[in-house]
Amino acid sequence: MVKTLHINKSKKPKAPRLKLKLKPGPPAKTKRKKKMTSSSPEKTAEKKPEAAPPKAAPTLAPPIIMPQALAVNPITGTPTARTIILPVETRNNLSLNRKLILTWQDLKYLTSAAAQAIIPENALGASSRTLLPNTRVGRWILNVTAPFTSSGGAITTFTISVGDGVTPARFISGIDLKTAAWTLGVTADYLYTVADTIDITATIAGQTMASLNGGSLELYYDEVDLNSMPTLLQP
């Protein structure tokens, strides 16, 4: 007798399960969350420290220019320009170390044809100061920078001489003050062995000194006090 086997096709046989033993590996690293330094959710780049600004170069204050020293005319109270000491460069190039500026405001209070002490820095109308003995002067130059004029009209003649108490025109003689021009005076040195002053003599004709209303002049010269030199170099 043949037996028939009935196979249930709906059920499939299960495959045997394989069990694998895995070796334990190193523990997994956990990532730490970085703290946000900004309230913005976006990640911001790290800020580099700012470099210090360069120091500014120190500014030099402009040199202080002292005003020209002025004397006061004892008669009128008006200022009178005093002698200006010239720079060393001028002394080396031109052999001149002094300049005196006189204007019509100085000359108008003088007496025509009368000598007036101007060096040392005597206020016009006085001659209390004198050059020391053993003072050498020379190399005189006169520059009429502006012609002298009068409120009364045309001046017939107006001249000036430069000298001292002994010789009124020792250095410059009779120069016209109505014309702007340079005049070279006595260039030779003169040594004062006794105290004296340098004087000017201004002489006007056709108008008066008091009527002057314009004009100026400059006197250049060299002055050296030999008393300050060593004894062997004294004359």
- The sign of the torsion formed by the CA atoms of 148, 150, 154, 156 equals negative
What structural domains does the chain harbor? 70-227 (2.60.120)
User: What count of Cα atoms within 13 Å lies in the side-chain half-sphere of residue 82?
Assistant: 13
Q: What is the DSSP string of 30-58?
A: PPPPPPPSSSSSSPPPPPPPPPPPPPPPP
The neighbour count for residue 71, using CB atoms within 10 Å, is 15
**Cα 131 → chain centroid:** 32
- Which tens digits make up the pLDDT trace of 113-171? 999 888 886 655 566 678 899 999 999 999 999 999 999 999 999 999 999 999 999 99
Q: What is 114-166 written as a DSSP string?
A: -EEEEESSPPTT-----BPTTEEEEEEEEEEEEEEEETTB--SEEEEEEEESS
Residue-level length of the chain: 235
> What single-letter DSSP state applies at residue 189?
-
Spatial distance between the Cα atoms of 222 and 220, rounded to a whole number of angstroms: 7
Q: What is the pLDDT of residues 72-116, one digit of tens each?
A: 554 444 545 567 888 888 887 888 899 999 999 989 989 999 998
pLDDT, tens only, 13-60: 555 565 555 556 666 655 565 555 555 545 555 666 666 667 766 666
- Name the pairing type of β-strands 98-103 and 172-176: unpaired
**Cβ(149)–Cβ(105) under 8 Å?**
no
